[in-house]
Structure 1
């Protein structure tokens, strides 16, 4: 298993997932990929535990940004899985291992309340989103987007 260098881990203010590894395969990727390509990608915690798989990629349609990856944890054949919204910036894609790394432990993920497939939270609710981002020690993606947009405009 690849161990991540702390310098390659996503920064608190980052708006996107980090990418590590040597892989650039044929066709698109890893910088631009179809969201469906990432479905069922395993997620590994820093303690080496396989904590689940990506079941959905959630887009903020208005900003055009990826908001969250939904992690399916536990269950059998999709039944009884606990779902967790992980801020996109809290993930690192490893192209060599073909997995995502998240920087909180498996126990912290299990302890995060999560939701089930029939009772999704209102992901557009800023209070809910802020709580999720704080749990993963990340700035909310919408505030980082605003900061990036302002700096892009001043650099032009």
Structure 2
């Protein structure tokens, strides 16, 4: 069954990692650095999107609910329905902090901040 925009529901993580991410104005904001999996719920907790930096120095990592990313053939990347300002002010963590406490704090703050319905309820 396809997604609302006609894409397949299944995708390999290796295909998503490294894909560019754009905001609602189609400005590139970063790329998929990693994908956090919830082993107990068999779900994707969130995408780890890296913003800024050069060669890994100064990068910021944002946890963005996976369901909010929509692949666009036009830009050959994912588009999130958020403005630059919303993304800039979003929850930021180190890669280490994203997995702290089983990733629940990063997951919860991300879904709350972006107003995405949680998959776990």
What TM-score, normalized by structure 1, do the two folds share? Answer: 0.66
Equivalent residue, structure 2, for 1:129 = 107
Report the equivalent of 1:31.
9
Of 27, 36, 58 in structure 2, the residue corresponding to residue 80 of structure 1 is: 58
Match for residue 151 of structure 1? none
Partner of 2:119: 141
Matched, 1:106 2:84: yes
In structure 1, distance between residues paired with 2:35 and 2:23: 19
**2: distance between equivalents of 1:101 and 1:126?**
24
Could you tell me how far 1:63 is from its partner in structure 2? 1.3
**Residues matched between the structures, number:** 119
The structure that is strand-richer by fraction is: 2
Whose RCO is larger (CA < 8 A, sep 6+)? 1
Report the 3-state secondary structure (helix = DSSP H, G, I; strand = E; otherwise coil) of the residue aligned with 1:20. Answer: coil
Change (3 A) 1:102 1:121: same
- Structure 2, unmatched stretches of 5+, are none
Task: Give the unaligned 5+ runs of structure 1.
Answer: 1-17, 24-29, 144-156
**Cα distance between partner residues in 2 of 1:125 and 1:41:** 22
After alignment, is 86-95 or 110-119 more displaced?
110-119
Larger Rg computed on CA atoms = 1
Query: Using a 3 Å threshold, how does the CA distance of structure 1 residues 88 and 136 change in structure 2: closer, same or farther?
Result: same
* Cα distance between partner residues in 1 of 2:5 and 2:75: 10
Give the Cα–Cα distance (whole angstroms) in 2 for the partners of residues 33 and 70 of structure 1: 16
CA contact (8 A) 2:20 2:28 kept: yes
Residue 71 (str. 1) matches residue 49 (str. 2): yes
The 1:61/1:118 distance shift into structure 2, 3 A limit, reads: closer
On the 8 A contact 1:19/1:95 being kept in 2, the answer is no
My pick for the range that moved more, 60-69 or 127-136, is: 127-136
